[in-house]
Structure 1
Amino acid sequence: MLQSHIHQAPYEFFYLRRISMISGNRGNRRENVAVGKTASQSSYVDTSISANNAVDDNTTQLSCILTATNQSYTWWEVDLGEQYFIHEVVIHFRTGWTWRRNGIQVYTSISPQQSNNGQPCGEQISGNMDGSGIPDVPTRTCNVMGRYVTLYQATYNRGTCGDYNCDGTTAMDFCEVLVMACTPNVKYGANCDMNCIQRKCASSSASCDVQTGNCGNGGCRPGYQGLDCTQACASGVKYGSNCIKPCDDRHCAPSGSYRSTCPAATGKCYWGCDPGWKEDDCTQACESGVKYGSNCMKSCDARHCAPSGSDKSTCPAATGKCEWGCTPGWKGDDCTQGTNLLSG
């Protein structure tokens, strides 16, 4: 009888940790997000055999599913509960009933019970009608966002069991379906081996694209670049948010024969700016006619320039030099030094 071939073994005895067996280090790679989720199927050969048997984390031959025979098509589906970036689907077939493998197609979808209208994951599982040439544990690559994973079968199969023919029709039976995916906002990348928390996004609340780790419109913290903001600026070449500012565009004052380094985050000039420039990275020119000198600390209005007719001297940002000299009692290129002359 069928029940002697398929039954649900005691969970405590057959519970297996397939995540670690399939994925290597669980903390660094893909996770089977189907375990314990709700499954359904189009038909049952026996309603006591639950569709959830295929997501109970038990890959032995003692906890499997079986759809009804003599149907025009059959399907099995698991609801992951939320959308994931699904990398691949791994199927553990029953090893003694190979003629129920040929023709199965794996689909993903955002809406439930899409039958064969979802997004196909790779090619159809195909081989001979008796299932020869089809592995016991095939894998299909998806690389798509989805909430539902569906296995669909509409191929009429027949196999040979000893001295009599075994009619597989469109029935499916398998023991476990693993849906390998990245956990949203925790891991990302082709192998789910990148940690969202290790990105250097400008916003601490930035979303984490499961494929690229993209930080979104907020961009990167100063000193980092790339979609996922994990690449540091090239030392001494670029700096700032997304590394878009060239170090050579700064106007740093030297200290003797030494030029300031270029910190990747700020580009700060450690010994101040050349005359006529200001801000930490010395890239902002003094406001014309208002300030001048190193770090734009001197006021043009504080000079005592001699006029030329009705014209007042301009105020060069670097020096503040008075073009026509100084008014009586003042000296220096910028006419800010008193001469201390005694009057009459």
Structure 2
Amino acid sequence: MTLPRLALVPGEPAGVGPELCVRLAQRPRTDCTLVTLADPATLQAAATALALPLNLLHEDEPARRPGDLPLRMFPNASTVAFGAPDPRNAGVVVGALLDAAAGCLRGDFAGMVTGPVQKSTINEGGIAYTGTTELLAGHAGRQVVMMLANDIVRVALATTHLPLREVADAIDAGLLRHVLTTTHEALRSDFGIAAPVIAVLGLNPHAGENGHLGHEEIDTIIPLLDALRGEGLALVGPLPADTAFLPNKLTGFDAVVAMYHDQGLPVLKYSGFERAVNLTLGLPYPRVAVDHGTALDLAGRGLADPSSLEAAVATCARIASQRRSRAL
């Protein structure tokens, strides 16, 4: 069986994405083939800065030796200086992401892996941009769920980048149903877990303490969990967030759904930031991203850790293979 073919988009060209792709090219892969959508001159500059070999190939040529990197060219509008993002390159960054997404929808790619972008620079370039997850969801016409995962825990988010004062109003039965059913299906289809168990955190301290610390659990979360249990989902909670991540409890869960960004992600990042990845659940194809930023202060210095990108590629390859196996 042929290996899944994945699109690899480095993200912000002035950040660490290009050099991480160069580092990735130094190792032969046995789980997938990669096509990088990027500017060739920037990749060559990153290889020179790292003193590593780089041989850019046509996207249909196979990588055979260390440094080989199949490439679909997306030339930058402006020459890159590492550490100094240029808004003139915003269109190229977004264009590469959308081209990879379109290739996934056509079946040219079995999934896509994305490096970090500089949101502020894209907006300064005249493109309204809230994030790559939102870009890909809009392109595919899907409502999606953000999940971050490492070797210890998977955390899906009911809300993502909202001010804290808006979170409680955003959490309703429709949203929670979508998040929980999407997470349940992804654990089955993408991770091969036949009967997943999902822990659901409460919104309030002590999960509301029977209404003494808030009524969202009683009014919204508990009724929705009861309804979904009646539909066959294995859900535990709502649980107090301060004890749900204890190691002896995590062994009984396949994923945790947190109500807001900073309720679940600090624990995940503390437990294994270097190998953490960001998954977009609900797309017609696997999309996995690194769980770190552009690290402009490190760009071009050879100091960036490639562990998250390596984990993202390996995760995307596993999911693509899992989906293909289920489709046979």
TM range (shorter): under 0.3
Between Structure 1 and Structure 2, the one with more strand by share is 1
Between structure 1 and structure 2, the one with the greater Rg is 1
Between Structure 1 and Structure 2, the one with more helix by share is 2
Please give the TM-score of this superposition, normalised by the length of structure 1.
0.21
Q: Which has the higher contact order (CA 8 A, sep 6+)?
A: 2
Please give the TM-score of this superposition, normalised by the length of structure 2.
0.22
